[in-house]
Chains A and B, each alone.
Chain A
Amino acid sequence: MSLQKIDAKMLSKMFLAGAKNLESKKEWINELNVFPVPDGDTGTNMTMTIMSAAREVAALGENADMESICKAISSGSLRGARGNSGVILSQLFRGFTKVIRTQTQLTVSVFADAFDKAVETAYKAVMKPKEGTILTVARGAAERAKELAEGGGEDLETFFRAVIEQAEYVLSQTPEMLPVLKQAGVVDSGGQGLVEVLHGAFDAFMGKEVNLDLNAPAAPERKTGAGSSYEAQANAEIRFGYCTEFIILLNKPFNVKTEKDFKSFLESIGDSIVCVADDDVVKVHVHTNDPGMAIQRALKYGALSNMKIDNMRLEHQEKLFKMSESGKAEVKAVEATGVAGQPETSPAEPQMPHKEVGFIAVSVGEGVNEIFRSLGVDYIIEGGQTMNPSTADILDAVEKVNADTVFILPNNKNIILAANQAAELMTDKNLLVIPTKTIPQGITAVINFVPDISVDENEQTMLEEIGNVKTGQVTYAVRDTVIDGKEIRKDDYMGIGDAGILAVGQDMAKVTEEMVAAMVDEDSELISIYYGSDVDETAAEELRDTLESAYPSCDIELQAGGQPIYYYVISVE
């Protein structure tokens, strides 16, 4: 018997099944990334995006109408959007649901219109749409859908099969459209993600038993939880039960040595340590099982104020309880469980003093975070290559900054779209995105901010200045590949510049020096080195000395960045 229309109940089921299927393929999609850099990019980002929508849909229950399901899909994915592919996916859903929300029954021709609108919306969201990506795959599918509808086909099964077939065909052609894909020998990962969503939805349509319980583990090969299995994750993560915060009002100088001693003491009793010293106060944050010890020790340096101790295990139970009640797992909660692997470093002040202009930076690594703070950044969103914050994370951060205009520095090219999306959703504040692609660009942007001049002038200057910084980043390859004609083996060191790979090899120092050589020219004045958490200070100092003798006309500045994944982030200006 041929089925010609589906109702809201089936749509909901298909959407959830699509989400589950994407989730189960997440790790595999991650590995399709072109750059063999160690990150959890596309699969993780798309999964987190769709899961945010799936939770909202699931929370509606079985008897929700089309309108509410559409709203849940659209707003859930929009708020949960992470990374470029996640943002594009959310835009596809937004366009798709615009068409179907007014219908009670979905037919071939409604689906064709909805696919068309989805593609149109997604293309508009991207400033320079690139072919050979998820966009092309979506467009191929939508065009096929249109042909079929115009041809008068009404059977949904035939229709879905043909559309998915076309999507898979276009996907297989992506390496022909983007040379980087061909060189790396992979298809586009975002396109693959979209195909997985379609597959999952189709399986549900065909009546295949799919476990729609969002909290069930999706696939055995999954290594890390991405939101859905937060419970297991959380209990494993909370090793230290008390979140302890206070401010020391110093009664004697707190020099580098004392700071180091104090930090290593804190490290011996806990983790997630933040210890920020100003001239006369030190702000301390630590997760520990013995808050008393932290306090005892701190009293040696001065009087304490603004003390706050929370039992994170208890709070966590409450949070889980509330979430299971509402069926919703807010992104924020995922963050609080430590999936990000980082403490929330911006102290949650009750209310920051109001200012005209505020700054938010996406950053990772205590050293880099501290540099941003010292330059006047009001709020740090922990994130970067391996952890792209979602639109919702960004909106939350903006909420916390008490300013009329907020500049956001994404500091990673995969976060710019989510920031742009947040700027569009923001209504009560002026959120301006300075599209910084690297940490040094972000640092340059905030340095060039001048309080006395207008927001427009500042935006203009920052946009100009970020173009004058060259960035190179040293990391390792996660698999064998060929990029820009350079053969790269797994575990090789790579020096990646603004426009591609500058150096490859087995010797980290050599790769770094070669990368810097490709960046410096006769106008260069300053080379800044931010060394990561996996580089020891001595090695970094050796690099500085080598660069100093190689480029006598340049100032060399060495900073402990503390960032993961990138051994060195180096800027030349």
Chain B
Amino acid sequence: MAKIAVVTDSNSGITQAQAPELGIHVLPMPFMINGQTFFEDIDLTQEQFYEMLATGADISTSQPSPEAVMKLWDELLKEYDEIVHIPMSSGLSGSCQSAVMLAQEYEGRVQVVNNQRISVTQRRSALDARELAAKGMNAAQIKDTLERDKFNSSIYIMLDTLYYLKKGGRITPAAAAIGTLLKLKPVLQIQGEKLDAFAKARTTSQGKSIMINAIKNDINNRFGGFTERREVRLAVAYTFDKDAALAWRDEVSAAFPGYEMHMDPLSLSVACHIGPGALAVTCCKKLETE
């Protein structure tokens, strides 16, 4: 059986501390803040990031340098036979495109998965990849399995403010057109592709019920319904406000009794576009492994 390494980036929410435990290798995402480069979870903590965001620092995201990616791969290939590389969604970043290009030099030993995940859903893919490897699949088979499954996930995010969304450019015109005269809480969705507008709410409780209903709807119509085997995985995510997130997790748990509920902070490259105070819920269909 081939020895397979699973690589993802820090958008998965997997911290450097958790990575060895999970048997996953995590590339830190670089951020340019006021002209200086920082790496997520290496020399930039969540707290420092939000502090700088609040002071209006000029923050831009970037993709891992080819050098950093290849260095990690080369290192891993000394020990492993193959690599499954799971970058953040190609709809949100060029990371995937670059990785595909770099992988061409590796004669099939590095398989880049383009399954358009982000945050907790990306984390799920990394864990799935580990499990598939343990079942004896090779890197190419894992890539195929994960990519076949790419549309089986949904993310809904309610924003506290439209400010950062307008500032950043990574949204579709539909989302950008949301009115700004009233204080609205936009609910965005990620279905593989880019962040898009889903609905608008005036109050937090309205926004929460919109998201819960959207997930119920997805489970019923797209992910095979509510079954005893609970073939979907739910997770919640947030930016900055952990107390609000804990309360949100309880509400989602109450709406979906019996489902386990993972919770992570949203990765900083998402946070930098949507700002603090966002709440999200996601749902992925469990991988069908025959």
Which A residues form the contact surface with B (CB < 8 A)? 370-371, 374-376, 443-444, 447-448, 450-452, 525-526, 528, 555, 557, 559, 573
Residues from chain B with Cβ under 8 Å of A447 in the complex: 182, 184, 200-202
Q: Is B55 an interface residue (CB 8 A)?
A: no
Among B172-180, B227-235, B251-259, which stretch is in contact with chain A?
Answer: B172-180
B250 CB to closest chain A CB, in angstroms?
18
Interface string of B213-240 (1 = CB under 8 A from A): 0000000000000000000000000000
Residues from chain A with Cβ under 8 Å of B202 in the complex: 444, 447, 526, 528, 573
B252 CB to closest chain A CB, in angstroms?
19
B48 CB to closest chain A CB, in angstroms?
29
B271 CB to closest chain A CB, in angstroms?
23
Given contacts A376-B179, A528-B182, A557-B183, 16 further A-B contacts (CB under 8 A): A370-B181, A371-B182, A374-B179, A374-B181, A375-B181, A443-B182, A444-B202, A447-B182, A447-B184, A447-B200, A450-B198, A452-B198, A525-B203, A526-B202, A557-B182, A573-B203
- The answer to whether A375 and B179 have CB atoms under 8 Å apart is yes
- The CA of A528 and the CA of B184, in the complex, are separated in Å by 12
B107 CB to closest chain A CB, in angstroms?
43
- The CA of A443 and the CA of B204, in the complex, are separated in Å by 17
Residues from chain B with Cβ under 8 Å of A444 in the complex: 202
Residues from chain B with Cβ under 8 Å of A557 in the complex: 182-183
Interface string of B154-197 (1 = CB under 8 A from A): 00000000000000000000100101111110000000000001
Residues from chain A with Cβ under 8 Å of B203 in the complex: 525-526, 555, 573
- The CA of A370 and the CA of B202, in the complex, are separated in Å by 17
- The answer to whether A374 and B205 have CB atoms under 8 Å apart is no
- The answer to whether A450 and B177 have CB atoms under 8 Å apart is no
Among A371, A448, A526, A559, contact of B200 (Cβ-Cβ < 8 Å):
A448
Residues from chain B with Cβ under 8 Å of A450 in the complex: 198-199
Among B179, B197, B198, contact of A371 (Cβ-Cβ < 8 Å):
B179
> 10 A-B contacts, Cβ less than 8 Å apart?
A371-B182, A374-B180, A375-B181, A376-B177, A447-B200, A451-B197, A525-B203, A555-B203, A559-B181, A573-B206
**Residue of B179, B199, B203 ringed by the most chain A CB atoms within 10 A:** B179
Residues from chain A with Cβ under 8 Å of B201 in the complex: 447
Residues from chain B with Cβ under 8 Å of A526 in the complex: 202-203
A172 CB to closest chain B CB, in angstroms?
48
- The CA of A371 and the CA of B184, in the complex, are separated in Å by 12
- The CA of A557 and the CA of B199, in the complex, are separated in Å by 20
Least CB separation from A560: chain B residue = B181
Least CB separation from B199: chain A residue = A450
- The answer to whether B198 and A559 have CB atoms under 8 Å apart is no
Residues from chain B with Cβ under 8 Å of A559 in the complex: 181-182
- The CA of A235 and the CA of B25, in the complex, are separated in Å by 80
Among A370, A371, A448, A555, contact of B199 (Cβ-Cβ < 8 Å):
A448
Among A371, A452, A525, A573, contact of B181 (Cβ-Cβ < 8 Å):
A371
**Residue of B179, B180, B201, B202 ringed by the most chain A CB atoms within 10 A:** B202
B221 CB to closest chain A CB, in angstroms?
12
Residues from chain A with Cβ under 8 Å of B182 in the complex: 371, 374-375, 443, 447, 528, 557, 559
10 A-B pairs with the lowest CB-CB distances in the bound complex, closest first: A374-B179, A525-B203, A375-B179, A374-B181, A526-B203, A450-B199, A447-B200, A371-B181, A557-B183, A526-B202
- The CA of A370 and the CA of B183, in the complex, are separated in Å by 14
Residues from chain A with Cβ under 8 Å of B198 in the complex: 450, 452
**Residue of A370, A374, A447, A450 ringed by the most chain B CB atoms within 10 A:** A447
Residues from chain A with Cβ under 8 Å of B184 in the complex: 447
- The CA of A451 and the CA of B205, in the complex, are separated in Å by 21
- The CA of A526 and the CA of B179, in the complex, are separated in Å by 18
- The CA of A555 and the CA of B203, in the complex, are separated in Å by 9
B167 CB to closest chain A CB, in angstroms?
12
A369 CB to closest chain B CB, in angstroms?
11
- The CA of A450 and the CA of B214, in the complex, are separated in Å by 12
- The answer to whether B199 and A525 have CB atoms under 8 Å apart is no
B230 CB to closest chain A CB, in angstroms?
26
A180 CB to closest chain B CB, in angstroms?
33
Residues from chain A with Cβ under 8 Å of B177 in the complex: 376
Residues from chain B with Cβ under 8 Å of A452 in the complex: 198
B199 CB to closest chain A CB, in angstroms?
5
Least CB separation from A468: chain B residue = B206
- The CA of A555 and the CA of B180, in the complex, are separated in Å by 16
- The CA of A276 and the CA of B180, in the complex, are separated in Å by 13
Residues from chain B with Cβ under 8 Å of A375 in the complex: 179, 181-182
- The CA of A54 and the CA of B182, in the complex, are separated in Å by 45
**Residue of B181, B198, B201 ringed by the most chain A CB atoms within 10 A:** B181
- The answer to whether A555 and B200 have CB atoms under 8 Å apart is no
Least CB separation from B201: chain A residue = A447
- The answer to whether B183 and A525 have CB atoms under 8 Å apart is no
Least CB separation from A554: chain B residue = B203
A421 CB to closest chain B CB, in angstroms?
30
B171 CB to closest chain A CB, in angstroms?
14
Among B174, B179, B197, B204, contact of A525 (Cβ-Cβ < 8 Å):
B204
Residues from chain B with Cβ under 8 Å of A555 in the complex: 183, 203
B152 CB to closest chain A CB, in angstroms?
19
A254 CB to closest chain B CB, in angstroms?
15
Residues from chain A with Cβ under 8 Å of B199 in the complex: 448, 450
In the complex with contacts A450-B198, A451-B174, A525-B205 CB distance below 8 A: yes
- The CA of A308 and the CA of B167, in the complex, are separated in Å by 34
- The CA of A525 and the CA of B209, in the complex, are separated in Å by 14
B191 CB to closest chain A CB, in angstroms?
10
Residues from chain B with Cβ under 8 Å of A448 in the complex: 199-200
Least CB separation from B176: chain A residue = A279
A311 CB to closest chain B CB, in angstroms?
34
- The CA of A448 and the CA of B179, in the complex, are separated in Å by 12
- The CA of A452 and the CA of B205, in the complex, are separated in Å by 22
- The CA of A443 and the CA of B182, in the complex, are separated in Å by 10
Least CB separation from B197: chain A residue = A451
Least CB separation from B182: chain A residue = A371
**Residue of A374, A443, A555 ringed by the most chain B CB atoms within 10 A:** A374
Least CB separation from B187: chain A residue = A450
Residues from chain B with Cβ under 8 Å of A374 in the complex: 179-182
- The CA of A494 and the CA of B74, in the complex, are separated in Å by 77
**Residue of A370, A450, A557, A573 ringed by the most chain B CB atoms within 10 A:** A450
- The CA of A450 and the CA of B200, in the complex, are separated in Å by 8
Residues from chain A with Cβ under 8 Å of B197 in the complex: 451
A59 CB to closest chain B CB, in angstroms?
45
A434 CB to closest chain B CB, in angstroms?
16
- The CA of A374 and the CA of B206, in the complex, are separated in Å by 20
- The CA of A557 and the CA of B183, in the complex, are separated in Å by 8
B61 CB to closest chain A CB, in angstroms?
23
- The CA of A370 and the CA of B180, in the complex, are separated in Å by 11
